[in-house]
Amino acid sequence: MAARSPDSRGLFHEAVQAVLGSWPVLQIAVENGFGGPHGQEKAQWMVGAVHDYFCSNSDLEQYEVEDTLQGILNDEFDTMVEDGSLPVAMDCETGATPTTAPSTSASSAHSRDPDQGGPEPDPDGWTVVCRKKK
């Protein structure tokens, strides 16, 4: 992304900010003070750090982005992401935003066939709600 125009970099920064700002894991960490008294500032710094990470590295693999996000959350917010939302958190290609409900593991993020009447609750009682595709 290093050869992009300033306008596209600004738009990408806004996209990163929108995605991270609507990510339940980060929202919960900030709201509950997991990052200490400066949690909101850390969340804003995280937006810039993730944006810079994308701009400084080309051909990133999904696992690299996931590892980076997990590392920042662990280091800055003492938070481990176990709800399966890491793969979704930076899915900027499709324009998706994180919409998974909290759960205890990544394996519980599944849903039933829409023809069968909607999502099925997981054994732990949580239901994953997904947006309808346009």
CA torsion 63-84-99-19 (nearest 10°) is -30
The CA-CA-CA angle for residues 71, 65, 106, to 5°, reads 75
User: How far is Cα 5 from Cα 3, in angstroms, rounded to an integer?
Assistant: 7
Nearest CA among 64, 55, 75 for reference residue 4: 55
pTM given for the model: 0.62
Per-residue pLDDT tens over the stretch 15-70:
999 999 999 999 999 999 999 999 999 999 999 999 999 999 988 898 999 999 99
Token readout for 124 is: 């732990």
Q: Quick one: angle between helices 62-77 and 24-31, nearest 10?
A: 10
Per-residue pLDDT tens over the stretch 88-98:
765 644 344 44
